[in-house]
Copies of this chain bind each other. A is one copy, B any other.
């Protein structure tokens, strides 16, 4: 069991850092989400099925909830379809570009927020803790396809 333990052990490390038991469900879900865009519970179940693994829906819900509560995943409702999505939460903060053509969700490292929290403080008397930015538009493939 020496192969590709890089992934494995980093997932396990993250779990133990948060004082969470290392279970099959948590390793599978966290492992999948470290290398994928935000996914719904249903999509996670399908991905597991495609790999010959199986977890009950309630376990996936509970696992995602636990991992979110511990800051390893982020729960979002990006698409306003009423279905929650979970994504791996990298150290830094991340925004999303959502393609209106294909629905793809593209993580964006850059952030336009800048010094805006100063304005929020002075103009609105609001102390900013965090923010979320979602960008809608069209990716290259969809622009090409729609042309």
Chain B residues closer than 8 Å to A124, beta-carbon distance = 97, 106, 108
A143 at the binding interface (Cβ < 8 Å): yes
- List CB contacts (< 8 Å) of A85-138 with chain B: 97, 99-100, 106, 108, 110, 112-114, 116, 119-120, 123-138
A124 to B138, CA, bound (A): 11
A99 to B123, CA, bound (A): 15
CB distance B137 to A126 under 8 Å? yes
Copy number in the complex reads 2
**Contact of A112 (CB < 8 Å), options: B80, B84, B113, B123:** B113
Measured CB to CB, the closest approach of chain B to A79, in angstroms, equals 8
A130 to B67, CA, bound (A): 31
A119 to B95, CA, bound (A): 14
9 interchain pairs, CB-CB under 8 A: A100-B129, A106-B124, A120-B135, A126-B135, A126-B139, A127-B143, A130-B135, A130-B136, A131-B133
Residues of chain A at the chain B interface (Cβ within 8 Å): 75-77, 80, 82, 84, 97, 99-100, 106, 108, 110, 112-114, 116, 119-120, 123-140, 143
**7 more A-B residue pairs beyond the given contacts A97-B124, A112-B113, with a C-beta to C-beta distance below 8 A:** A97-B120, A97-B126, A110-B119, A120-B135, A127-B138, A128-B136, A132-B133
